[in-house]
Each structure stands twice: as C-alpha cells, then as structure tokens.
Amino acid sequence: MESISIKDLIDCIRTYNEEEIDYIMKAYDLANELHKNQVRQSGEPYIIHPLSVALILAEMRADRDTICAALLHDVIEDTDIKKEEIAELFNHNVANLVDGVTKISKLNFSTKQEQNLANTRKIITSITEDVRIIIIKLADRLHNMRTLEFKSEFKQKENALETMEIFVPLAYYIGAYRVKSELEDLSLKYLKSDMYKKIEEKQKTIKTDSQECMQEMLYKIKSMLENKNIPNEIKVRTKNIYGIYKRLNDGHKLSDIHDLLALKIMVDDVDSCYRTLGMIHEEYHPINDKFKDYICNPKTNMYRSLHTTVFGPDDRLVQTQIRTFDMDNIASFGLTAYWDVNKGKARDTMQNDLKEKFQFFKSLTEINSMFGDNQQFVSQVKNELFSDKVYVYTTKGDIIELPKGSTPIDFAYKIHTDIGNTMVASIVNDEYVPLDYILKNKDRVRIITDDLSFGPRSDWEEKAQTAYAKRKIKEFNKR
C-alpha cells in the first residue's frame, strides 16, 4: 500500500476548500508533533493513519473542522493533550469531535467487556449529538480495515466481526453505501477468506464475460438519450463481493441474482429519469416484478433511484438504475454528500434531516432513554436496529421500517402512541390478522382504532418487538 503524505491531503482539499488550508496545516503540525515517536504495527510512522483518515474524509469534501478532528482523532487517547487545550488552540467544535471519537479510558471500568460496551454505546449515540463523529469513526474504521493485515489473526477476526455488527449498519443508516460496501468486503475477507477468494474469482469472470454485453447496452442507451437531448452519464457496476456472498448464503444460485450487473444512468432531473425508463423498456424487455420506484418511495435512509431489471444482449439479466446526479451523490455518500450540496450549512442540515427524515433516529433516541445498562442498550440496538428489517406500507403508501419479527402492535406504535393505545384490530393486505401476526416485506397494514377501547392488554408487551411499543404498553398499564 502506498504511503500518503500531507501533500496528498492538501492537494485534495485545494480542489474544494482552499481558504482553510492554513488552519488544517496547524492541526497537522500539532498531530505530527504529538505522535512523533509513535509507529503503527506496520512499522510506518503513526501520523500516516490520521493523515489517511483525513484524506478519506477530504475525498467526501468534508468541512474544515471535520478534517482537523480527523488529524487529531487519536491525540487525547494516545498523548498527553486534553480536550480543553484543543478547544483553545482550535475551537469547541473540533474539540467536541475529537472527544466524541475518543475511547473512554479503561481506568473507569473493572473489565475489558464493560469498557467495550460503554465505548460501543458512545459511538452509536454520538449520532444524536453530531453525525460527523460517526463519519470520522467510519473513516477511521475503513483505514484500519484496509491495513488489517499487520494485526494477529485473532485481532483481524475480532475487528472484522465488530465492523459487520456495528459499523456496517451505521454506514447503511446514514446512506454511505460506498463505505458500507468496502467495509463489508474487507470484513468478509478476514472472516471467511476461502469464500471471499472464490467469490472474487467469480466476480472477475462475470466482469470479463459480460464486458461486451454491457458496453453494447451502454452505447445504445447513450445514443438514445443523446438523440432526445438528455444530458447523461452512464457507469457499469458489478455487485460487491459481500453482496454476492449474502445472496448465495440465502440459498440463491448465481444465475438468480438479478443485480449482479448494473448500469447506473445519471440524468439532470426527475422528469428525465422517467423518460429514460420509458426508452429502456421500449428497447429491452423488463422483468415486471423487479421494477422498483425509489424516487416516489425513497428508502428509509433517503436513497432514491429507479431500478428495473431487463433482458440484455446474450440473454443476460441487467439491472439499470436511473437517477439524477444529486441522487447519485446521495446514493454513494449518504448524509456526507451534504458537504458538497449544502456548503457551510452542511452540519446543521445533516443533523436536521436525521431528526426529521430518518426513522431509525427516533428508535435510537428511544432505546437510549430506556436502557441505563450498556449491555442491555447494545443488545437492544443490535436486535432492533442492526438486524434484518421488514418494510411495510401504510394505507397512504408510506414505507415503515421495522425489525424482522415485528407485529401490527409495533407498527401501530411506530405511527403514533394514540393509535397503539386505541387499537382494536389489524388488517394486513385487506384481511383481518391477529395482533401477533408477524409482518412481512411489502405488507399493507391498516390499524382499526376505537377511542372507547380498554387500551393495550398487558400480554401485548410480549408480542411487541420494538423498545418504544413495549415501553408505551407498560406505561399505559401502570396508569
């Protein structure tokens, strides 16, 4: 792996934030001085790590304070400097970010496990204070995973497992798909190396075999769009190794995976997205049940795009993803794309959108307020937020995200406490179902309420999956 230098970082920042370079250099000089006698397990100077983390963030066009905090992210933990000194030298923002990514000292705990649980909680809940803490943490983890070969086999597996359990779901929730895919692949490489190599070979073969077919489609679609004066950019994408592994692991054959190959088509506006879709369907036969409109119905992490799987040349199935350039930016980088889109106001917009638009944010806040015990908190987050999901529809067509195993009780409380408290029956896909019915993907759910009902029965608490529903049922029954 090539070692990077401060010049690489500054060259990258120069492309979007030249006026802040002196301030960032001050953070680099301090970090370089504080880490000067430290080396990584690879034998290279320690400063290479914070530099690499800062560069990952600069490639996302991160703001000044985030870059400074990335350069300084290990100084409180590994050197003698205090948070207050960082605040004096830079500002409170930088100090809070550095403090946010710093592990809680082991002096506060009697066991290693207690320390780990407290730190896991600190990372997860930091998103409610400032989402940039999570973003720095994700960049930090990404660089650590990229250089994991220098650790012992036990450490490699431990880190890879923690990455899959904690960091991959966090990357998914903030919509940072690029980081998520790379973290998944790197984790699989250390957890199941034989499987990883096998799938990597298959992936290469698929790329080589399908090159002609993909190029032919790319040129054809490009010329159709250009004939209609629709500005566009088209890229070829192959499913990531972990994505293929997961599908094979679920019992699918390679030939069943309809999105192994994809063409990503970017256009200027929503109207052009639908026009492009029409043209593609005129040229290539679509598979009806593989069409998804995430523009009208965005995913719960704000991902928007049209997906259609068509029969391409040589009888190959090819997924085409059609979206605007802005949607593509958000699809790749999630909330971190705001740095580019909302210059200067990015942090406030990120935080605000998290509160208003992201369903998991409310659930996380709820779980945090319910569990004082770190072990219970972490286990509830893993079960409710970081495990498999089901996505169901309200009668208006809104998508509601719930943990797998959820019932109409969870759905009702997710919509509104009063709906849960006055629920008397539930209808799924136009049929009455018992309240402990397990919801499935794409179910359409309608809750029947009655203001004169006796309220939730105490046995509902057992039937509910989500922390919020359980708490509301308990509170009602105490009254």
Q: Which two tokens stand for residue 416?
A: 């509104």
Buried b vs exposed e over 347-363: b needs ≥16 C-beta within 10 Å? beebbebbeeebbbbeb
Nearest partner of 350 among 326, 329, 334, judged by Cα: 334
- The Cα–Cα gap between 323 and 276 comes to 10
Q: In 3-state terms, what secondary structure has residue 262?
A: strand
Q: Please name the residue ranges forming H helices in 35-74.
A: 48-59, 64-71
> Where is 400: in which H helix or E strand?
strand 399-403
* Catalytic annotation, residues: 77-78
In the chain, how many H helices and how many E strands?
25, 10
Cβ 420 vs Cβ 456: under 8 Å? yes
For residue 433, the cross-strand partners are 426
- The Cα–Cα gap between 266 and 276 comes to 10
- The Cα–Cα gap between 376 and 383 comes to 10
Q: Which two tokens stand for residue 411?
A: 């759905």
Q: Please name the residue ranges forming H helices in 231-345.
A: 241-249, 270-283, 325-333, 338-341
Indicate the angle between helix axes 64-71 and 21-34, nearest 10 degrees: 10
**Per 3-state DSSP, what percentage of the chain is helix, strand, and coil (rounded to 5)?**
60, 10, 25
- The Cα–Cα gap between 209 and 191 comes to 28
- The Cα–Cα gap between 186 and 263 comes to 24
For 285, counting Cβ atoms within 10 Å of its Cβ (0-12 exposed, 13-18 middle, 19+ buried), the class is exposed
Cα 53 → chain centroid: 18
Nearest partner of 404 among 370, 371, 455, 443, judged by Cα: 443
- The amino acid occupying position 137 is K
